[in-house]
A and B are shown apart, each in its own frame.
Chain A
Amino acid sequence: MKWMRILCALLMVICAPAWAHKASDSYLTLQIEGSKVSGHWDIALRDIDFAIGLDANGDGNITWGEVKARHTEIAAWALSSLNVQRGGDCSLQVTEQLVDEHTDGHYSVLRLQGQCPQTYGGVDINYRLLFNIDALHRGLLQLQLDGRTQTSIFGPDTAQQHFASESPSLLQQIRHYVVEGIWHIWIGLDHILFLLALLLPAVLVRTGKRWVGVGRLREAMKEVLWVVTSFTAAHSITLSLAALGWISLPSRLVESSIAISVVLAAANNLWPVVVGRRWMVAFGFGLIHGFGFASVLADLGLPKDALAISLLGFNVGVELGQLVIVAAFLPVAFTLRHLPLYRVGVFMGGSGITMLVAFIWFLERAFNLRILGF
């Protein structure tokens, strides 16, 4: 146990250097990537104490307990003196508060996270921390804007500063939206299930009361093409209308309807109502799904100067994502189409499970419940 004590003492020596007398600085590190802001902000405990008081018992020592008790106030005070703008005010919040050491003592480390209205263009930062009580205070900024690092110093006379972004070329912007489009169809399980529910019967034909495999790939492909094209056409229409702000529906209604569309599409496989003209189902419900994509795009933010091209890019991305799903599905389904495994297990079983899952989604979305968690 003795060596433990020696270790601690040594650590104290190494870790706790003599604190410097130094003018007050805060260290603000920000990463702004598209519309996402993250980073941390180190502010000296001594400065926080001078501004809002930390030494609750007035004994001249600031303890971790005293700091912790004031975390809410520290966050509110700090954020009230910092504005980050990219196409408008970015929301900022403190997600966590830690402690770190600098040459002049301990600092509170505020981990930041935020969201800007725009994904591109220059960034404006207004920094006012402590200036009203310490005119020699400086905010030392390290900004990583879309991958490029810039540094700057904020003072009372330089509180407002602009940081230029090497603004992405039109091609880069389109690529960005295409990638987002692909990504969002892949992680949008409800869209995938809807599409699969319509595609599962594409390799089958209904004769009498039974399903049998189609004869030639051509037939299956024709069916797939009709379904996918009409789904695409439909959701492109509503996606554009919503993204341009011409139509706006409450998201709860949209999300519940999407769930219902999946339920109905799957149910149609088990108890066929529409057999020959599934492309009409795809088109009708596709209109609803378009509104769902639009909400994703709204979160992403559309650049005002390249609205149409970004919208197109996002749409193309969604189609590419769909094509990949179809390309993976069709050969497998076509190969297995004659087997009972496909007709009973995949087609009937899959539709049944899809229907059940989608129905639970509907309940969750319509009545604001939490049952499945995905």
Chain B
Amino acid sequence: MSNSKQPANVPCRIFAIGVGLMLASFALCAEPYLPTLDSTVLERLPLQANNQSASALNQLRTTVRERPADAEAAAQLAELYFDTAMATGDPRYAGYARAVVAGYPLALTPALLLQRGMLQQYQHNFEAALKDFEDALAQDPQLAAAHAWRGAIYLVQANYKAADAECAALLRMERRALWGACKGLVQAYGGQLDAAYATLAQALPGSQQPGNRLWLLTRMAEVSAWKQQPTQAEEHYRAALALGIDDSYLLAAWSDFLLDQKRYQEVAERLAKWEASDPLLLRLALAQRLLGLPEAGRSAQLLGDRFAAATLRGDTTHRAEEARYQLYLRQNAKEAQRLAALNFAVQREPRDARILLEAAIATGDLAAAQPARDWLQSSGFEDARLHKLAQQTGKLAKP
């Protein structure tokens, strides 16, 4: 009863509780503590021991432990771990895979060299990766995957001539699907979007493996978007998503597409359960911010903590994402430009050029944008959006 007489006190009390809560939570969260209850769940493991895929993994792990010189088992286990890392975006599995290869006691077989090369590539150690693929091919010239991966690295490095040579090797081996994915991207990055789309589309029917189909469909969607055909792009993205395979690259690309289409709500919904992955949390935070949702601040904070943690361990693989975080979530254009420039020195794909241009426009620093403009010029890449950005940076030169 007395409460109804003093309505003004209620918000006050809530505020006081809120402040107390914050302090309590800092004390509770920041300091090491002793849990009081034995039944308190501290951690939920990503794979439960009685889960089917986990038991297959454990079985393989046991085999490798008991027969350390079994190259086939080691390669299988490393591949399984790496696939899990790619599907979930959880880098711990990449570390497990790397340790499996490192623990192999004899000279590495082509399959193990291939695994190590993929893992080097994952860590952006491109030169070491190229060396592993070369060694693998020296032992087994028919190892198509090594050519495909080498092609992918050359593409990232914007070395289209070398990438094209890898595609040609795949064609000689008559690996049409791998060749299509390789050649299609060489054409796309080289400024022939129509030809690129045709090449990728041609490879699709011959490719039965769901993983390969997902890859082709994702890249076809990207090419369509660059061609200013959003309806077609969406169709391909949806077909790729319909395969029902978890793939963080696909989700990131689809989210970027939706963000460009100003369909923020869909991004927020789709990525709600993907906070664990840094690249996807970035897209989620961007969408939340553009929607004006209260969670935006928390997501940005979370992301900041994670970039800080990555910096602490010397991890530089997510600099492109960190640049976007700095530019759009922290409004720190200078830092964004610094990160984008560092990233562009290592990776030169369209999205890398885009964040560099966007950051340079924000800082008004033409010189910083130059590497991206040079790349756009020399590659002949056609995306209208990127050309518009490049023009904007061009105007910076004329005061």
Contact = CB atoms under 8 A, between A and B. Distances in A.
Interface of A: 3, 7, 10-11, 14-15, 17-25, 40, 42, 45-47, 49-50, 55, 58-65, 67-68, 98-106, 109, 131-138, 140, 153, 156
Q: Which of A18, A50, A102, A104 has the most CB of B within 10 A?
A: A18
A21 B278 CA distance: 7
Interface stretch (B89-97, B142-150, B183-191, B353-361): B89-97
Given A49-B43, A102-B309, A21 B22 contact: no
A18 B21 contact: no
Contacts, number: 160
B48 interface: yes
A137 B99 CA distance: 10
B29 A14 contact: yes
B260 interface: no
Nearest to B275: A18
A213 to B, nearest CB: 62
Given A22-B91, A100-B33, A67 B44 contact: no
Contacts of A21: 88-92, 276-278
B28 interface: yes
B33 A60 contact: no
Interface in B289-316: 298, 302, 305-306, 309-310, 312-315
A3 B34 contact: no
A131 B310 CA distance: 18
Lowest 10 A-B CB distances belong to which pairs? A136-B95, A65-B38, A60-B48, A135-B98, A18-B275, A58-B49, A98-B32, A134-B95, A64-B35, A23-B91
A46 B45 contact: yes
B19 interface: no
Contacts of A137: 95
28 contacts: A11-B28, A14-B22, A14-B29, A15-B29, A20-B281, A20-B305, A21-B88, A22-B92, A22-B278, A22-B309, A46-B92, A58-B48, A58-B50, A60-B47, A60-B51, A61-B43, A64-B42, A98-B32, A98-B33, A100-B32, A100-B33, A105-B43, A106-B42, A134-B99, A135-B95, A136-B98, A137-B95, A140-B312
B44 A153 contact: no
Contacts of A138: 313-314
Interface of B: 17, 21-22, 24-25, 28-29, 31-35, 37-51, 88-92, 94-96, 98-99, 101-103, 123, 275-278, 281, 298, 302, 305-306, 309-310, 312-315
A21 B318 CA distance: 13
A17 B298 CA distance: 9
A22 B310 contact: yes
Contacts of B305: 20, 103
A59 B45 CA distance: 9
A190 to B, nearest CB: 39
A22 B28 contact: no
A136 B120 CA distance: 11
A78 B89 CA distance: 27
B99 A67 contact: no
B12 to A, nearest CB: 14
Contacts of A106: 42-43
Given A20-B276, A64-B37, 19 more contacts: A3-B17, A7-B17, A17-B298, A18-B276, A19-B276, A20-B309, A21-B277, A21-B278, A47-B92, A59-B49, A61-B43, A61-B45, A63-B42, A99-B33, A99-B35, A135-B95, A135-B99, A137-B95, A140-B313
B33 A153 contact: no
Contact of B40 (A10, A63, A131): A63
A42 B33 CA distance: 12
Contact of A11 (B25, B32, B88): B25
Contact of A153 (B49, B278, B298, B313): B313
Contacts of A45: 42-43
Contacts of B34: 98-99
A360 B373 CA distance: 89
B276 A99 contact: no
A103 B43 contact: no
A15 B40 CA distance: 14
Contact of A132 (B28, B44, B103, B281): B103
A24 B44 contact: no
A136 B24 contact: no
A307 to B, nearest CB: 41
Contacts of A14: 21-22, 25, 29
Contact of A25 (B98, B302, B309): B309
Contacts of B278: 20-22
B309 A103 contact: yes
